[in-house]
A = this chain, B = another copy of it.
Amino acid sequence: MSKEGLGLTAKKKNLQDWYPEVVLKSDMADYSAVKGCMVIKPNAYYVWQEIQNYFNERLMNLNVRNAYFPLFIPESFFKKEAQHAQGFKPEVAWIANDENSERLAIRPTSETIIYDSYSRWIRTYRDLPFRLNQWANIIRWESKATRLFLRTREFLWQEGHCVYETREECDKETLTFLQEYEKLCRELLAIPVLKGYKSENEKFAGALYTLSIEAIMPDGRSLQCGTSHNLGQEFAKSFGIEFLGKDEKKHHPWQNSWGISTRLIGAMIMLHGDDKGIILPPKVAYNKVVIIPILFEDSKRDVINQAKKIQTLLKDFNPILDLDGEHSPGWKFNNYELKGIPLRLEIGPKDLKAKSAVLVRRDNGKKISVKLKDLKKQIRLILNGIQDNLYEKASRLMKSSVVEARNLNEFEKAISNRKIAKIFWCDSVTCEKDLKERLNTIKSILLPLEQGKVSGKCVICNNEAKVMAYFGKPY
């Protein structure tokens, strides 16, 4: 492969061209023969596995158990909760077998099939709180253009479904799960997020309210990274979930549902990558280090031997040792930078003599010469440093992407500058719909959890302001 073929043709500032190119060339995913469906390749699937491992441990602490419910949902179940049915109608795929019986949908989300089981399982207040999660594939028959990880007809996710006696408990844990998502994004993927409520227009179909975390991408657009819905009692009423209370009377419980998906991998790629390729946060990189020996005829054997010793020494970091003789070290550097391996270790005859090796950070290109005896300890520190630096860099980007707008003029300027506008807002469905008609890609992103003092007029429609809100262009 030529150097041209290996590298990226698009620059990151042209994000819409860069993103699909980098996803393919970094070997994170591929298109498949099925329109709208992707192949998640090993380095990307590993990120998902690490998300699963991390989150399963958190779920155990929160007394949430994993279970698995059917892929198929009877058509009649959708009809039971009217808003929910309406919201998902355009995106449902149906299966064609058993034409005599009821149509079956392929799950676009599993509230209905799960709550049918809950209606048989939940009997008394002693069964509550009742908390289950499932890891599953989801089908939404999108007609919009495919974007790898971000918009595909099939994706992987987890969906949690809890049932509570009281609204208070439900409110509290709906927030808890959102906070868990924020933590996961921060600790694992180095993604900082905004946290808040979705507007009435943007909430989940059938929910009382939706909490969401949003990451801001380098083009100033926000990307929804996880949601937690307080479903109120409506699904319980529709599906006949009742419990005998301590008062010996029957009650409908309160429910929430919450999810994150493989979309997070797209956010991670888009946020951290650069003109050279993707950058994997060390915590989710399958190979955290790549060892590249610098070979000359007279020292080849010794250098290779040393490189092999280093590979064994560094096995905790699952290092690649690239002994391929076809390509130059320079070609290899480019290749592993493209694939986002967090740290490169170079070892040549000079290093051999000095009993050291050269480390090169993927995030900032800095070179560090390290004595072999300190290698393991230093690498651990440097990897932590890379993880932190990615988060801090992304945090600065997020900060600079949000601008306060005190009037319509400033609002429109912010929007045309591709920023997220922070405004006082009336929180009305009509106001947001009117805006959408005018600037069809602009929506409310969030009503942040911490509202501060709200006063004055709505920046968009000039009615009384009720909330502080972020507006912008979402993915």
Chain A residues with a Cβ under 8 A of chain B? 30, 32-35, 37-42, 45-46, 48-49, 56, 65-74, 77, 93-98, 101, 104, 106, 113, 116-117, 120-121, 132, 136-137, 139, 141, 154, 156, 286
Other contacts beyond A46-B66, A95-B106: 6, CB < 8 A: A33-B74, A33-B113, A34-B104, A71-B106, A95-B95, A95-B96
Q: Which residues of B contact A154 (CB under 8 A)?
A: 70-72
Label chain A's interface by main secondary structure.
mixed
Give the oligomeric copy count. Answer: 2
Q: Which residues of B contact A74 (CB under 8 A)?
A: 33-34
Complex A-B: 21 CB contacts under 8 Å: A30-B117, A30-B121, A32-B70, A32-B117, A33-B113, A34-B73, A38-B70, A39-B70, A40-B67, A45-B65, A45-B68, A46-B65, A48-B68, A65-B286, A70-B154, A71-B106, A71-B137, A71-B154, A93-B97, A94-B96, A137-B137
Q: How far is the CA of A113 from the CA of B40 in the complex (A)?
A: 13
Give the contacting residue for A39; candidates B39, B69, B136; CB below 8 A: B69
Q: Which of A34, A68, A116, A121 has the most CB of B within 10 A?
A: A68
Q: Is there an interface contact between A97 and B97, defined as CB atoms closer than 8 Å?
A: no
Q: How far is the CA of A168 from the CA of B37 in the complex (A)?
A: 35
Q: How far is the CA of A435 from the CA of B167 in the complex (A)?
A: 65
Q: Which 7 A-B pairs have the closest CB atoms?
A: A42-B65, A37-B70, A96-B96, A40-B68, A94-B96, A34-B72, A34-B70
Give the contacting residue for A32; candidates B30, B45, B69, B96; CB below 8 A: B69
Closest residue to A116 on the B side, CB-wise? B33
Q: Report the minimum CB–CB distance from A53 to chain B (whole Å).
A: 9
Q: Is there an interface contact between A66 and B49, defined as CB atoms closer than 8 Å?
A: yes
- Given the known inter-chain contacts A39-B68, A116-B33, A117-B39, please indicate yes or no for A56 contacting B45, CB distance below 8 A: no
